[in-house]
Amino acid sequence: MNTDAYTRTALSVSELNREAKVLLEGHFDRVTVEGEIGNFTAASSGHWYFSLKDADAQVRCAMFRGANGRVKVRPSQGDSVRIRAKVSLYEGRGEFQLICEHLEPAGAGALQLAFERLKKQLSEEGLFSPTAKQPVPNDAAHVGVVTSATGAALQDVLTVLARRSPHTRIYVFPVPVQGEGAAEQIAAAIAQADRLTQSGALPLDVVIVGRGGGSLEDLWAFNEEAVARTLFAATVPTVSAVGHEIDFSIADLVADTRAATPSAAAELVSTDQNEVAQHLDMLTADLSRSMSRRLSDLSHQLSTLKRRVRHPGHALKQQQATLARLNSSLYRGTIRQLKAYRSQAEQLGSRLDAQHPRQQLSRQRDLCQQLGHQLQRHIHRHLQATRGELNHHIKLLASLGPEQTLHRGYAIVTDEQGKVVKHAESAAEGDSVKIRLGKGLLAAEVTGHPEH
């Protein structure tokens, strides 16, 4: 047995993993690997962790926040992808892994799959809803264009607007229209155009966003989520003019209006000056004919009125005669009215004299005297009648009073308290009583109650 292996200084686990990592990273340059996503996790730090596998093996992968921010479509479990990565080893667990720097769907079919997935997501969120669309002007005076400064799309827009509407002001927001980072710059340019319009710095009526034709991969920047959401948030009307006739991009579906090509977009937002000139010529001819007819009608009316108009002197004489007649009628009417007013004033004067306080006072005094005499006569007659009635009642009362009864031989017996004794049993033997006769009063004592 070789004892040198035991006498050599032992490595720690950390040292072993570190040397293995150096060997791996030194041996491999960047590698491109295709496989299927598995165990995908998006950490709260923004990093992605997943496995890349095929039918026979798998490898752990990490994609840090700065790198995954450039990925067009976020991967999902089971997606087939192609990655460009650096071979490394995670020292903490001694695990072989790939540090992913670039990730894209594997193959054209994968791009279409990513397109359909994002299209479905944005549709469910309402970004394609017709109710969210704004009307796009067809005679815009200020047009913003978000496209490549060197591409044919910009030249097409400029050419069409120069021919159809040379007065239109064009504001170019140059951006790359394909490649890494193109979508973010397109979205930033749209947001800038909208922000400048809202602040009043630019009077944009509409913004055209687009490019010339190309493959699905060439046009992919206009299928990015960032561009779609910026188009949806814009307050200025937008036209998507991605140069392909058959298929729609995500930008086409989100923008307020879609044009098949940049040239079509320029025609959509402008009015052809030749058509306007022809229309003005037609209106001018119609106006000229209308004015000629109107002048002819007015000339005919003037001739008719000239024949109907009489000499002013004749009308003046008629008006003078009418004025003299009205003046005479006014004089006579005024005299009659004055006489009526004078007669009315005299009547009112007589009535006023009759209502003078002195006259009223005299009449009231005479009335008071008459009423006084009537009152005295009425009181005298009433006293006489009352006096006769009183004498009659006195005589009647005297005839019915006790004195008359006593004079006929009856007597009234009272006890010592002055109460009338109505029954013999009310007075006991020995009681003193008083007897009132027709004339005089007797004092007596009860000695018994003899039988009747």
Is there a single domain that holds both residue 382 and residue 435?
A: no
Is there a single domain that holds both residue 144 and residue 94?
A: no
**What pLDDT does 149 receive?**
93
In what side-by-side order are the strands of the sheet with 206-211? 169-174, 142-147, 206-211, 238-242, 257-258
Tokens 């037609």 belong to which residue? 282
Token representation of residue 339: 């006489």
**What pLDDT does 246 receive?**
58
> Is residue 227 situated within a structural domain?
yes
Token representation of residue 415: 């006890």
Q: Which of 130, 120, 72 is nearest to 258 (CA)?
A: 130
> Is residue 116 situated within a structural domain?
no
253 band by pLDDT with thresholds 50, 70 and 90? very high
Is there a single domain that holds both residue 97 and residue 226?
A: no
Is there a single domain that holds both residue 228 and residue 245?
A: yes
Mean pLDDT of 216-232: 89
Mean pLDDT of 107-126: 80
Average pLDDT, the chain: 85
Is there a single domain that holds both residue 78 and residue 182?
A: no
Give yes or no for a contact between 88 and 98, defined as CB atoms under 8 angstroms apart.
yes
> Is residue 84 situated within a structural domain?
yes
Is there a single domain that holds both residue 166 and residue 230?
A: yes
Whole-number Å distance between alpha carbons of 433 and 192: 141
Is there a single domain that holds both residue 436 and residue 396?
A: no
**What pLDDT does 126 receive?**
92
245 band by pLDDT with thresholds 50, 70 and 90? low
Domain limits for position 149: 131-271
Give the lowest-confidence range in 91-95, 120-124, 442-446.
Answer: 91-95
Is there a single domain that holds both residue 74 and residue 157?
A: no
**What pLDDT does 176 receive?**
94
Mean pLDDT of 368-392: 90
Is there a single domain that holds both residue 378 and residue 425?
A: no
Is there a single domain that holds both residue 410 and residue 378?
A: no
Is there a single domain that holds both residue 48 and residue 76?
A: yes
Is the pLDDT assigned to residue 180 strictly greater than 90?
no
> Is residue 6 situated within a structural domain?
no
Structural domains of the chain, count: 4
> Is residue 277 situated within a structural domain?
no
Whole-number Å distance between alpha carbons of 253 and 251: 5
> Is residue 61 situated within a structural domain?
yes
Q: Would you say the C-alpha torsion 392, 393, 395, 399 has a positive or negative sign?
A: positive
H/E segment holding residue 444: strand 441-445
Whole-number Å distance between alpha carbons of 278 and 271: 12
**What pLDDT does 244 receive?**
64
**What pLDDT does 107 receive?**
63
> Is residue 192 situated within a structural domain?
yes
168 band by pLDDT with thresholds 50, 70 and 90? very high
DSSP 279-338: HHHHHHHHHHHHHHHHHHHHHHHHHHHHHHPPPHHHHHHHHHHHHHHHHHHHHHHHHHHH
pLDDT digits (tens, 9 = 90+) for 383-440: 999 998 898 888 887 777 777 777 777 888 888 888 888 888 878 888 888 888 878 8
Looking at the chain, the whole-number percentage of residues with pLDDT higher than 70 is 95
Q: What residue type is assigned to position 2 of the chain?
A: N
CATH of the domain at 189: 3.40.50.261
**What pLDDT does 348 receive?**
85
> Is residue 120 situated within a structural domain?
no
Longest dimension (CA), the chain: 190
Is there a single domain that holds both residue 423 and residue 393?
A: no
**What pLDDT does 210 receive?**
92
Of the candidates 236, 271, 306, which is a domain's last residue?
Answer: 271
pTM above 0.85, yes or no: no
